Structure 1
């Protein structure tokens, strides 16, 4: 398991075409990818299982805890991105609720765009 950041303070200001916003790049893939949004309510859990393909979990709001194959949980909050390799055991849980985007693809390389925080 690796932890990255995609929060506003990790982005770059874009002014091209008279634009005024900050972009935090997350991923680029040439192979097909599945993108979904997960809504975990209070005491929600994505049970302990193996990743079928490499998986990137982007925490949008709320907070929770993630773990890999060890029973050591790491707190996650908005702006955190958690990456698990194919076949890696993992779990996500929350006491108060969280919303996250999940990206799954045979070809994910988050370190190409985001800096590694922990993991």
Structure 2
């Protein structure tokens, strides 16, 4: 499990074409990709399961907790992105509620576009 940031501070200012905005790039794929928006209400949960393909979870608002095969939960908040590899067991839950975009594809390499916040392996070392 890896953690990335896609907040405003990790973005790049765009001024082409008289534009004035900041974009935080997330992912680029050439293979079939599924993108969805998940709405977890108070005490919501995405049950413990194995990722069928690599999966990227982008927390848009709210906060919650994620874990992989270890029973240690990591807090996630708005602007956090969590990446699970194919076959990695994982779970997402929230006390107060959260909204997230989930991206699933055989070809996900978030490290090419987003700065790494930390990975669960480095925290457990």
User: Which residue number in structure 2 is paired with residue 69 of structure 1?
Assistant: 69
Task: Give the TM-score normalised by the residue count of structure 1.
Answer: 0.99
Alignment-derived partner of residue 10 in structure 1: 10
Q: CA RMSD in A?
A: 0.4
In structure 2, distance between residues paired with 1:50 and 1:91: 9
Q: Which residue number in structure 2 is paired with residue 116 of structure 1?
A: 116
Q: Does 1:92 align with 2:78?
A: no
Q: Which runs of 5+ in 2 are unaligned?
A: 120-125
Q: Offset at 1:118?
A: 1.3
Cα shift at 1:51: 0.2
Alpha-carbon distance between aligned partners in 2 of 1:25 and 1:71, rounded to the nearest angstrom: 31
Distance of 1:73 and 1:22 partners within structure 2: 31
Q: CA deviation at 1:115?
A: 1.1
Runs of 4+ in 1 over 6 A off after TM superposition: none
User: Could you tell me which residue of structure 2 aligns to residue 83 of structure 1?
Assistant: 83
- 5+ long unaligned stretches in structure 1: none
Per-residue CA deviations over 1:72-100 (Å, capped at 9, x if unaligned) read 11100010000000000000000000000
